[in-house]
Amino acid sequence: MSTLPYSQASKSVLVYFQGGKWSMGDQYPTLANFSRQGVSIRAMERADLAVVVELDALVFGVMRSAYFERRLATLNENDADARMIFLVADYQGTVIGFVMGTLAYGEFGLTQVTAILDSIAVPPRYQQQGIGRQLIEAFIKRSTMQGAAAVYTLVNWDNWTLLKAFHSLGFALASTIPLERRID
């Protein structure tokens, strides 16, 4: 069973994903009794897929089910442990954040093993609580243990909150510049 906090008017409830459907559950712990020390970072499991998709949609406003299904399908591949890093923040049995990335072994002309952090989300009610920091630090630690010498990510240039968060974790402008060409 996977769970996701859901805010309805002023009452927070727990939404359960079980048996292929969402249903309402018990009162969800409020921020008043939230403790960052109660958050554990663990490997993402296939059972977390529905919660991760919903959490991503809650934070970014777009449902990307196919993207996450493709990414999590790699968990079954032989080298998934060597190339993929999928982590979730778990608080009292509820996923309240996630981070996903890939290890690159020479892609884009990089000469060293490089971690590419490509997805991170924490629901608005848990932002500014250090959960994103915990996720990124765990991602960096796992990347380092798997041989990465650097971590890359992309941030929209006008997302000052996220830019400040990554800066506080030691991220800086990279020597590479992403280029884009629109195809109409």
Q: Rounded mean pLDDT of the chain? A: 80
Distance of CA 13 to the CA centre of its chain: 22
pLDDT for position 75: 66
- Reply yes or no on domain 36-168 having CATH 3.30.360.10: no
- Enumerate residues 6+ apart whose C-beta is below 8 A from 2: 16, 17, 18, 47, 48, 49, 50, 51, 95
Provide the percentage of residues in the chain whose pLDDT is more than 90. 34
3-state secondary structure of 112: coil
Does the pLDDT value for residue 96 go beyond 60?
yes
Note the pLDDT of residue 65. Answer: 86
- Confidence band (pLDDT; 50, 70, 90) for 77? low
- pLDDT over 80 (residue 20): no
pTM for the full model? Answer: 0.77
pLDDT per position as a tens digit, 110-131:
788 999 999 999 988 888 889 9
- Widest Cα–Cα separation across the chain: 52
Q: Strands, DSSP E only, in 20-169?
A: 21-27, 39-43, 84-91, 94-105, 113-121, 150-153
**pLDDT confidence tier of residue 6, bands split at 50, 70 and 90:** very low
| 70-91 mean pLDDT | 76
Choice between 136 and 28, residue whose per-residue pLDDT is larger: 136
For 121, left (φ over 0), alpha (ψ -120 to 50), or beta? beta
Boundaries of every domain in the chain: 36-168
